[in-house]
Amino acid sequence: MAAPPTTSFTIGTRASKLALVQTDAVKAALKAACPDYDFRVFSKETAGDLSMIALREFTSKNLWTEELEELMMAGQVDFIVHSLKDVPTNLPPSCTLGPMMPREDSRDVLVVKQGLPYKSLSDIPAGSVVGTSSIRRTAQLARSYPHLKVQDVRGNINTRLAKLDADDSPYTCIILAAAGLLRIDLGDRITQYLDSKNSGMLYAVGQGALGIEIRKDDHALQELLAKIEDRDTTLACLAERSLLRTLEGGCSAPLGVETEWEQTPEGSRRLRMRAIVVSVDGKESAEIELAGEVDSPDAAEAHGVAVAQALVDEGAGKILEDIQQNKVAKEALAV
């Protein structure tokens, strides 16, 4: 006799406010699709949350995912909700990403210090300090706004806003993801939405989407998640992650993307992807725009690889090698 279907699920997540809000959104969508099922949340402070050091320079992002993956493989949680942007492009062999829910706004935004009158990045006076710790944002700012200074700002979203608004703050503005602010009801702090046209700022792979990580052999859960899937989100995000995976070869790349769906005159749908790789000083860059038919996960993977190849043809390989060399040199010094 077949085992009865599981109707009770435990969802694993980090314990940050944003992570909990995101997990509640997944839980609510599943509960609406399957009212007879039960979902509970198990949250955990991960090594990444607890650490005080400048992790990004010296470690992989896996600090945020490894401990929850171990709990999942031990059967203590059934699936994990992440910000997709923070999910490494290569997962452990027994884990995979499930179907994805609709993506929140994927753009970066400018947040100006409370009380200052600036309305856009182009209003910010020369010499002002922009807060960000992202190599992608730093490089793109250096490229399009070389008259601005960039300084690290760390911590969760509320911490960063507090650092921006403090009386003795060095910052005139900071750059954040729209999605995080919108999800925790801080959309009123958004001064300007940034995109390739208005500011030359492209977003991070997977930004604004949730990554639901599951055990690879959990086919029942795949089917359950398909009920709350937005296929366009899944395919666009798989294509973006394929691009990053193809380019990075292990290191975190200063890669910006912008993807949108478009209708062809013949009536089929294509995924248009813009992508840019910028050297940290902003002086060198490679960019590309490529549309392709993406109607399956395999086609999404292939489109990501094609965009990566086109970027390398434009010179991205050399920029990434230089960054990798620099990183190796820094690590050697730090030992």
Ligand X SMILES: NCc1[nH]cc(CCC(=O)O)c1CC(=O)O
The catalytic site residues sit at 86
Contact (Cβ atoms closer than 8 angstroms) between residue 173 and residue 124: yes
Stretch that binds ligand X, among 171-179, 225-233, 262-270, 305-313 (CB under 6 A): 171-179
Contact (Cβ atoms closer than 8 angstroms) between residue 221 and residue 212: no
> In the set 83, 128, 191, 233, which binds ligand X (CB under 6 A)?
83
Contact call for residue 304 and ligand X (CB under 6 A): no
Contact call for residue 254 and ligand X (CB under 6 A): no
Contact call for residue 23 and ligand X (CB under 6 A): no
Select 186 or 302, whichever has its Cβ closest to ligand X.
Answer: 186
CB crowding 269-284: b at 16 or more within 10 Å, else e: ebbebbbbbbbbebeb
Contact call for residue 16 and ligand X (CB under 6 A): no
Residue found by looking up tokens 């609510």 in the block: 28
Contact call for residue 135 and ligand X (CB under 6 A): no
> In the set 11, 16, 72, 86, which binds ligand X (CB under 6 A)?
86
* Token code pair at residue 28: 């609510």
Select 182 or 299, whichever has its Cβ closest to ligand X.
Answer: 182
By CB under 6 A, the residues from 184 to 213 that bind ligand X are 207-208
Select 206 or 286, whichever has its Cβ closest to ligand X.
Answer: 206
d(CA 103, CA 146): 32
Cα separation values, 321 from 7, 254, 276, Å: 49, 12, 15
Contact call for residue 303 and ligand X (CB under 6 A): no
Stretch that binds ligand X, among 29-37, 111-119, 177-185, 292-300 (CB under 6 A): 177-185
78 Cβ contact partners less than 8 Å away, ≥ 6 residues apart: 6, 9, 10, 11, 12, 72, 214, 218, 221
Contact call for residue 113 and ligand X (CB under 6 A): no
**Would strands 285-293 and 269-278 be described as parallel, antiparallel, or unpaired?**
antiparallel
Contacting residues toward ligand X, per CB under 6 A: 83, 85-86, 176-177, 179-180, 207-208
